[in-house]
Amino acid sequence: MPSIPKTNKPKNRRPTAATLPFPNQHGGRRAGAGRKPNGDRAGVKHRPRQAQASRFPVHVTVKLRAGLPRLRERATYVALREAFVAARQRGGLRLVHYAVLNDHLHFVVEAQGRQALTRGVQGLLIRIARRLNKHWQRRGKVFADRFHDHVLKSPREVRNALRYVLGNGRKHAAEGREVQVSQAIDTFTSAPWFDGWKERLVVNGLTGVERPVAGARTWLLTLGWRRLGLLSVHEVPASA
């Protein structure tokens, strides 16, 4: 019987994995990496807040979530004023001026520092959200993202901010947006309580309406900006 030749097989040899030519990639943390925000949460970049001293007023802007009713309705504005009255001077924050637009709010505030500003504005927004949800008979978030703030450090910046906030409705109306301002001043703002108009104004209907804003205390908001001239009701602010 013919003999069968033996093969020399290696014992206990592990299978080797095949290697594929993947291109070189750069791992780890890098600028621009990660999922990009979209929708309601893509509004304000989460950068470190600017330092803020108590002598500087601050212009604050906050936007509503998409799909909510418009703010420039009479009954809605009453609910907003109630929130303003409750928070106009609370926790180291003073609400000095405001403007109500259809889907966002502007404030000019004074604060005792960055921490007081952050906590004060957050408290103000919580009060506003509760009032609006009660008025709209709904639950859930009201604001799209965290607020945006700009520290005002010069008389020119303060005057421009006042013109922008108090005249924002007139600017939107001039641009053809769904905002109407049928009077010399926008009554959906703190303009009726503003004493820095060049023209002499008489605002009817304020009897029995509690003042929704606090008086200014910083030099920039009381005297500094006035050195550049009082505001006129005919001034329309430029785009921010």
Question: Does 240 or 47 have the greater pLDDT score?
Answer: 47
SS3 232: coil
pLDDT digits (tens, 9 = 90+) for 138-166: 999 999 988 999 999 999 999 999 999 99
3-state helix, strand, coil in the chain (%, to 5): 30, 15, 55
Tell me, what's the pLDDT at 93?
96
Confidence bin at 179 (pLDDT 50/70/90): low
Tell me, what's the pLDDT at 10?
55
Q: What is the pTM (predicted TM-score) of this model? A: 0.76
Tell me, what's the pLDDT at 234?
86
Summarize the confidence of residues 85-106 as an average pLDDT: 95
Summarize the confidence of residues 121-137 as an average pLDDT: 96
Q: In the chain, what is the straight-line distance between the N-terminal and C-terminal CA atoms, in Å?
A: 101
- CA–CA separation, 54 vs 216, rounded Å? 12
pLDDT above 90 coverage of the chain, percent = 60
Which of 127, 96, 95, 94 lies closest to 112 in space, CA to CA? Answer: 94
Of the listed ranges 12-26, 60-74, 88-102, 223-237, the least confidently predicted one is 12-26
Measure CA 7 to chain center. 80
62 within 8 A of 104, measured Cβ to Cβ: yes
Tell me, what's the pLDDT at 204?
83
Residue ranges of domains in the chain: 50-228
Confidence bin at 101 (pLDDT 50/70/90): very high
CATH topology of domain 50-228: Alpha-Beta Plaits (3.30.70)
Summarize the confidence of residues 74-80 as an average pLDDT: 96
Which of 196, 155, 197 lies closest to 55 in space, CA to CA? Answer: 155
Average pLDDT of every residue of the chain: 82
Q: Note the maximum CA span of the chain.
A: 127
Which of 157, 51, 164 lies closest to 111 in space, CA to CA? Answer: 51
Summarize the confidence of residues 50-73 as an average pLDDT: 91
Residue 172 CA: distances (Å) to CA of 70, 101, 123, 238, 240: 14, 9, 28, 10, 12
Tell me, what's the pLDDT at 118?
94
Beta strands in the chain (DSSP E): 58-63, 89-90, 93-100, 104-111, 148-151
Residue 204 CA: distances (Å) to CA of 138, 198, 215, 233: 33, 18, 21, 17
Question: Does 185 or 67 have the greater pLDDT score?
Answer: 67
Tell me, what's the pLDDT at 96?
98
Tell me, what's the pLDDT at 40?
44
